[in-house]
Amino acid sequence: MSGNQVSHRAFLFRLRNLAKKALERYGLERAEIKFKSYSGNGLYQVIIPSSRKSEFPVPPGRYALRLHQFGYMKPEYIRSELEWLSALCEVGIDVPRPIRNEDGDWLTTAESGYDVPRQRNCTLLSWVEGRFLEKGLRPKHFESLGKVAGKMQEQSMLWKKPKGFKRPHWDWEGLFGDGFDYGFVAQDARDAIPKKHQQVFNDVLKRVEEASQQLGKGKRVYGLIHADLGNTVFRAGKARPFDFDDCGFGYWMFDLGVVLAHYMLDSEGSSPKMRDALIVGYQDTSILPESNLEYLDLFTAARFAQLMFFYQGMGLKFPRHRDEALGEINQSARYLKRILKKMR
């Protein structure tokens, strides 16, 4: 084993130590923590029992400590994400509430003392209670999610962003080009899409480019979006979005398109009832023009094309995962072709 590699068990041990160091900056070094997941970001649940509330500077409850993926989002991007979350909470939208450290900063940098894992940017947020319903989703759940999406977009459009606010742009360059640094050359990834999928992939890219030119980037069509609303849990039938790691500026309809694309992937099919319910909920709260909905199918297709682009790039960057990436590309391409057939 080389000097910059460790076993999975050793990595998790070091990651836990890193999490504990981060919690010291919040006065929570004596809190109970539970490892939840590691997929780029490391995630720990932090538990403050009511029986020990006097020992800690935050109220009893459960919190999420994120150890952000090294080199993925810039510090100013992470701080801006938490600024938006805080603003959403202030208007009563049920999303994770960010917690400042003892220095008053949203962002905490923890030194690992190891080459692997390296120094990490860390953030602390309230834990979002609820259940994933990938196989149990019903129209009422999508209607609730549509309502939340409409409320978030209204807040985004009306909110005066603080000085220095920065998030990625999920426009054509961000989705398919070098507008966001994924760690691979965008042109190489686009060119490497399997030949059997090149026609539909390029068709979508052309359509998105043309629509972008027609729509422009005025606030009635474009603004700050979650960009990955598949990350939603439900409690008492109400949608509760979380994981704003990819939030950024994009077309409003891309937010809804992502929901529909991931529903198709998770359920291995599509349902007009679910799509209709999402739209009904969205129209109930959205203050944006209904003409945006004319582009919903296109931005659903754009999400599938983005996934193809991303996995192709990852396959180039990490050749040992090329077969896995190809499987993801083929799956997204299958649904992409269905949508294009419907749009013609």
Say which CATH architecture domain 8-126 belongs to. 2-Layer Sandwich (3.30)
Q: What is the pLDDT of residue 39?
A: 87
Low-confidence ranges of the chain (pLDDT < 70): 1-4
Which residues make beta-bridge pairs with 212? Answer: none
Which stretches within 236-295 are classed as H helix? 252-267, 272-285
The whole-model pTM stands at 0.94
Q: Where do the structural domains in the chain lie, given as residue ranges?
A: 8-126, 139-343
How far is residue 203's CA from residue 194's CA, in Å, rounded to a whole number? Answer: 14
Q: What is the pLDDT of residue 112?
A: 83
139-343 has which CATH code?
3.90.1200.10
Two structure tokens written together for 247: 């939030």
Which phi and psi angles does 187 have, rounded to 5°? Answer: -60, -40
Long-range contacts of 156-160 (CB under 8 A, 24+ apart): 156/84, 156/223, 156/224, 156/225, 157/219, 157/220, 157/223, 157/287, 157/288, 159/84, 159/87, 159/224
How far is residue 336's CA from residue 193's CA, in Å, rounded to a whole number? Answer: 14
Q: What is the pLDDT of residue 3?
A: 40
What are the CA-CA distances from residue 234 to residues 138, 186, 284 (Å)?
Answer: 11, 36, 19
11 three-state secondary structure:
helix
